[in-house]
């Protein structure tokens, strides 16, 4: 199961930045993702 999770992360690793930009354009979710405490967690 750990190997499957790792494969999922590796497979979609190039898609996460695109997804982050899309989520930031959604009104409520975008506001949440632009908060400093969320940005630091997402960037790590």
What pLDDT score does 32 carry?
81
For the question of whether the overall pTM of this predicted structure is more than 0.75, the answer is no
The answer, yes or no, to whether residue 22 has pLDDT greater than 60, is: yes
**Mean pLDDT score, 8-17:** 86
* Cα 24 to the center of its chain, rounded Å: 10
Domains of the chain: which residue ranges?
Answer: 14-44
In this structure, of 9-13, 31-35, 37-41, the range with the lowest mean pLDDT score is 37-41
pLDDT at 41 (0 to 100) = 64
Give the per-residue pLDDT at 42: 62
Smallest CA-to-CA distance from 16 within 26, 8, 5 is with 8
């Amino acid at each position: 199961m750990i190997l499957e999770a790792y494969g999922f992360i590796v497979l979609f690793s190039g898609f996460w930045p695109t997804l982050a930009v899309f989520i930031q354009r959604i009104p409520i979710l975008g506001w949440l993702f632009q908060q400093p405490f969320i940005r630091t967690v997402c960037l790590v």
